[in-house]
Amino acid sequence: MKRLNIRPASRRASCTASCIATVLGLAALAAATDAAAGDYPDEPIRMVVPYAPAGGTDELGRLLAQKLSAAVGQSVIVENRAGADGMIGTAYVAQAKPNGYTVAFVSSGHAVNPTLYKNITFDTVKDLRCVTQTAVQQIVLVVTPSLPVHNVKALIDYGKTHPNSLYFGTSSKASQLPMELFARMTGLKLTAVPYKGSGPALTDMIAGRVQMGFIAAASAIPYIKSGHLRALAIGDDHRSPSLPDLPTVAEAGVPGFQANLWSGMFVPNGTPAPVINRLNEVLVKAVKDPAFAKTMQDHGFEAAGTTPAQCDAFIVKEIAKWAAVAKDAGITAE
């Protein structure tokens, strides 16, 4: 009698069944994802702004919420969850369901906080995905008019011939970093003077009690035009449309210098790529719209509109950049 060996056939049958189950499972998952993306959004979206109402990021977030709502046909509810320099509201979003219905609208402090705070309850890179960098807000290097300098080179020369004589105001450790970067790249010895808010720091700069600082261009322009402050350069890598004759810091003698303020939208990691791409598509279209871009410019913002991948890479670079600056300046995490 011939021996029947049925094991290979059994293995093939088992493999075939397993493979079919796997393929069907993946197909079902893909279909579910496509359906979710196709239906998205079918309920209101919550946009968490992790700062107090009426600030620059909150203002821009509300403008974008209106555009997003009109584009997707759903309400976009702006919710302020302020505290801990934006970390409370951002942590809330990082821990939310990754379905695209809870998003964070944050500012540039988002990339600085990992360096400045020890006990962050989320991982800035691993727990969140960037939808897009929506806008940039340029900063301008200004000095009190009593300081006898009219350009960056003269400021550097003055600082080197008058060591330890230059003071700048800062309302937080995060706002201190651009000035520390400037000091690092020029070799100047600058002294930070802490204030409880940007208003008192600005008042003292106008009065000459501190001599210099970087402040948002939109806030600085009225004081520059009135002669209460003197503008030396733009901190960004390109000139300001509002101050086209003012050189950048890099053009004025500090090659490679670049610092600005920015805003962007983030979602919990695990949010389906089609949902992220849908949000990106709508937001980029909004910020690139000429009429809306003009509205943003009137509020001191310049449209950005990056891809999710570009924004994720940008965040990683920003964290590394400001961590190095903080370390050189001796700024430690709290």
Length of the chain: 334
pLDDT tens for 68-98 read: 999 999 999 999 999 998 999 999 999 999 9
Q: Assign domain 43-136+261-329 to its CATH superfamily.
A: Bordetella uptake gene, domain 1 (3.40.190.150)
Q: What integer pLDDT is reported at residue 3 of this predicted model?
A: 44
Q: Among 118, 59, 182, which Cα is nearest to 334's? A: 118
Q: Where are the domains of the chain?
A: 43-136+261-329, 138-234
Q: Assess contact for 201 and 223: CB atoms under 8 A.
A: no
116 vs 196, 209, 227, 294, CA distance in Å? 17, 27, 35, 35
Q: Which residue type, as a one-letter code, is found at position 175?
A: S
Q: What integer pLDDT is reported at residue 334 of this predicted model?
A: 82
Q: Assess contact for 6 and 36: CB atoms under 8 A.
A: no
DSSP state of 151: S
Beta bridge partners of 214: 141
- Side-chain half-sphere CA neighbours of 103 within 13 A: 27
CA distance 286 to 50: 22
Judge if 43-136+261-329 and 138-234 fold alike in CATH terms: yes
pLDDT tens for 186-226 read: 999 999 999 988 889 999 999 999 999 999 998 899 999 99
Share above pLDDT 90 across residues of the chain, in percent, rounded to a whole number: 78
2.40.40.20, 3.40.190.10, 1.10.150.20, 3.40.710.10: which CATH number matches 138-234?
Answer: 3.40.190.10
Query: Phi then psi for 227, rounded to 5 degrees?
Result: 85, 5
Q: What integer pLDDT is reported at residue 30 of this predicted model?
A: 46
DSSP state of 257: -
- The crossing angle, in degrees rounded to 10, of helices 7-39 and 273-288 is 30
